[in-house]
Amino acid sequence: MRTQTGWINRNAAYLAMCGVAVPLVFSAMVIVGGVAQEGYSHASQAISELGRVEAGRPFVQNLNFIVTGILVIVFAIGLHHAPGLQGGAMKGPVLIGVFGLVTAVAQPAFSCDPGCGGATGMGLAHNVTGVASFLAVVAGIGFIGKRFRTADGWERYAKPSLATAVAALVALLTWIIVSKIVGVDSVNGVLQRVFVGIVLLWIGFIGARVWAHSIIGSGRERQRVLEWSLYGSAAASVIGIVYLVGFFASGVGELGTANDVAVIAQYLLMIPMALALHRAISQNGAVVMPVTLAVGVGGMIGVVVLQGLLVANAIAFEIYIVMVNIGFIVVLGWLLALKRGSGGSAMPGSTALTALAGLYVGYPLWALVAVRRLREGP
């Protein structure tokens, strides 16, 4: 048990970093599920309606529930063991973990009725467990806010967290009263998303706050951030390439959409890698201009935004393909500039491989070679 606790304490920042992925993953999958279900309205329909049996692609939202729930549970564990928070009361993390558990297990298991009105036993179970988990996470955020008051380095996040708990509770009650009791169905989806957004954005922000210590901490911690980011982005890239090949081979549109989502995940995971890599290279004596980092990260964010617009069917493909290729070229230029400026320090040795990484197809191999160079040292 001591060994397990020690491992959790050492890796708390990386566990809490799962919280950063929560709002990104959940939002992206809801968009994909909405696109797959003809006639679905984000304004008037509940998110859970994407997972009911009669939905166009119910597995998308049910998988979203499972993945998001697991990420929330891991985040709660990391938060409890984060630097400055170790040894504090467990009520907050446990309640947040309960929210994650219900999301991962009960929500996909108990499908909601059309309109999520709770007309059947399964639909009622979906609603009851959902509301219970919502109340749990609101209370959990409040307890965490109280814990921040006396936690070293976390005092300034106490009031914002307590305010978040109050705002989430008000949003939850507003949604229930207006849409469920008064019966104004036209804003049902909007009001639910306001509540969910408040909760998930808090989780993402606090996860980023815990993780930030890894970037500004020791060189050893930065190397671990680099390795985790490289492995994660490489895995997303491999998955995306498989989906892309499958799309061109079969013509199944959903595989193309899955590739788009994988690209979003890859380029998001590349951002912390870029931050840590620039700092590591600079400390090795190389001269790398800050503008190079800004341009590279800007290119990554541009690719993420364009992929999201494509998934949401909010941009014409002809415009998307031109702009996203510009984004890829910007990232390619960043990689080549970084390699030249670093003199090869902490970078793969082949310029050709670096170029292939920037052109997407060679990224997984480049990332694995980069990890090996990191472990070998300068």
Q: How confident is the model over 180-226, as pLDDT tens digits? A: 899 888 898 899 999 999 999 999 888 888 876 555 555 566 677 77
How far CA 93 is from CA of 87, 140, 143, 282, in Å, comes to 12, 6, 8, 37
> Residues of the chain with pLDDT > 70: what percent?
84
Q: So what's the pLDDT on residue 3?
A: 47
Q: How confident is the model at residue 172 (pLDDT cuts 50, 70, 90)?
A: very high
Least trusted range by pLDDT, from 81-85, 247-251, 329-333:
81-85
Q: How confident is the model at residue 2 (pLDDT cuts 50, 70, 90)?
A: very low
Res. 271: pLDDT tops 60? yes
Q: So what's the pLDDT on residue 369?
A: 82
103 neighbors 72 (Cβ within 8 angstroms):
yes
Query: What residues contact residue 71 under an 8 Å CB cut-off, 6+ apart?
Result: 18, 19, 21, 22, 25, 100
String of DSSP letters for 42-108: TTTS-GGGGGSTTSSSHHHHHHHHHHHHHHHHHHHHHHHTSTTTTTS-SHHHHHHHHHHHHHHTHHH
164 neighbors 202 (Cβ within 8 angstroms):
yes
**Residue in the structure block whose two tokens are 């965490």:** 144
Neighbours of 173 (CB within 10 A): 11
Res. 158: pLDDT tops 70? yes
Give the pLDDT mean for 27-45.
83
Q: So what's the pLDDT on residue 215?
A: 53
Q: Summarize pLDDT for 298-341 with one digit per residue, the tens.
A: 888 889 888 887 887 767 888 889 999 999 999 988 888 877 76
Least trusted range by pLDDT, from 74-78, 171-175, 251-255, 351-355:
351-355
Least trusted range by pLDDT, from 7-21, 53-67, 77-91, 257-271:
7-21
Return the structure tokens found at 335.
Answer: 């990689």
Return the structure tokens found at 261.
Answer: 């989502």
- CA nearest to 207, candidates 18, 12, 1, 5: 18
Query: What residues contact residue 77 under an 8 Å CB cut-off, 6+ apart?
Result: 8, 15, 93, 97
How far CA 118 is from CA of 15, 128, 129, 193, 234, in Å, comes to 35, 9, 11, 19, 43
Neighbours of 200 (CB within 10 A): 21
Helix axes 91-104, 121-148, angle to 10 degrees: 150
Q: How confident is the model at residue 1 (pLDDT cuts 50, 70, 90)?
A: very low
Q: So what's the pLDDT on residue 169?
A: 97
Res. 83: pLDDT tops 80? no
Comparing 350 with 8, which gets the higher pLDDT? 350
How far CA 204 is from CA of 98, 142, 200, 229, 342, in Å, comes to 17, 16, 6, 17, 32
pTM (predicted TM-score): 0.66
Q: CA 191 to CA 42: how far, in whole Å?
A: 10
- CA nearest to 233, candidates 303, 292, 289: 303
Q: So what's the pLDDT on residue 220?
A: 63
Neighbours of 304 (CB within 10 A): 21
Q: CA 264 to CA 227: how far, in whole Å?
A: 19
Q: So what's the pLDDT on residue 142?
A: 95
**Residue in the structure block whose two tokens are 């696109």:** 35
85 neighbors 97 (Cβ within 8 angstroms):
no
Query: What residues contact residue 18 under an 8 Å CB cut-off, 6+ apart?
Result: 71, 72, 74, 75, 78, 207
